[in-house]
Amino acid sequence: MSKIIFVSDYFSNEVRRGAEVTNDVLLYYLGIANTIESHKLNIIDINSFYIITNFVNLNENTKQQLIKYKNYLIYEHDHKYISTRNPFLLPTGEVNISGIVPEIYFTNRAFYNNAKVVICQTQWHEDQLNKNNITNTTNIHGSLYLHEDLELINSIRLNTLKIDKYAFFNDAEFITLSNGMTLRQGQNIKNKQGSLRYCLDNKLPYFPIPRINVKENFWKTLAKFKHFIFFPDIPETCSRLLIEAKMLDINVTTNQNSGAYHEPWFQLSGIELIDKFKDEIIPNAINLFKGYI
């Protein structure tokens, strides 16, 4: 078996966003110990196989080596075939209603097309890539969780009394990395302003949840509320926020701008959704990855 090397711009010891957390879980299930930050990857070993996740910091020479040897797959978390990482927003700031990226703005075409496979988060996410003629694709129909985390979510669900308020995610614009540097999160990713406006317009009692990096503390905080509001204004390829809110038996108010919303399991909640992930989504996803590496 080839040596497996896992490549990402950042890892969870630097920043804990959905992509980094999901990558951690994947590393655990696949038993991969070899990881490298993308900007440090310069020489490609033809006898190794690379799982490439976020690759904004991967240099062009390294991409060309990977394209030559074709010894990699891409685990896509967003849309890196356009610099905005959003097919509905052009670099000029113009809204692109079709989601089909004009050729002048298209990037990384050869890198996508020469991968063994591009693994997306959800069917909705995959469909957006297919619309842009990236067709060597599949998807895992959700996100990844450790079984112990699912058990913890269920325990919190069963042991937390809810108050009749509407929570929303009050995320910071910047994240501070472990090395002291700051990382911009993007164009108003969680749209906290939209959630606040919804509460004010409808005279709803609300509570903005701050960023809480310890997952157990975040779930315990979220579980206290009967309602969760999330109106993403850029395409969320899945949205762990929505998954976790529904697993915690919280009433979710959202729009259609997430992959989670379009998956059949989105109609489930509580233990039914937890068991769906534990017994089906996660095992199928891990088997999918193993089939390609």
Domain definitions of the chain by residue range: 3-143+282-292, 147-278
pTM equals 0.91
pLDDT at 186: 43
Helix (H) or strand (E) holding 48: strand 48-52
Query: Looking at 72-213, which runs of residues are DSSP E strands?
Result: 72-75, 118-120, 137-139, 163-170, 174-176, 182-184, 206-210
**20, 42, 134, 182 from 15: Cα distances, Å:** 7, 23, 29, 10
pLDDT at 185: 46
CATH 3.40.50 fits 3-143+282-292, yes or no: yes
Helix (H) or strand (E) holding 37: strand 35-37
Are the beta carbons of 51 and 75 closer than 8 angstroms?
yes
Give the SS3 label for residue 226.
strand
- Average pLDDT per run of 10 along the chain, which is 293 residues long? 90 82 96 96 96 96 98 97 95 95 97 98 98 97 97 98 93 48 48 89 93 90 96 92 97 96 98 98 98 94
Give the model confidence (pLDDT) of 22-43 as tens digits: 999 999 999 999 999 999 999 9
- As a whole number of angstroms, the distance between CA 11 and CA 19 comes to 9
- As a whole number of angstroms, the distance between CA 76 and CA 201 comes to 37
- As a whole number of angstroms, the distance between CA 67 and CA 212 comes to 39
Instruction: Centre a 10 Å sphere on the Cβ of residue 152 and count the other Cβ atoms it contains.
Output: 16
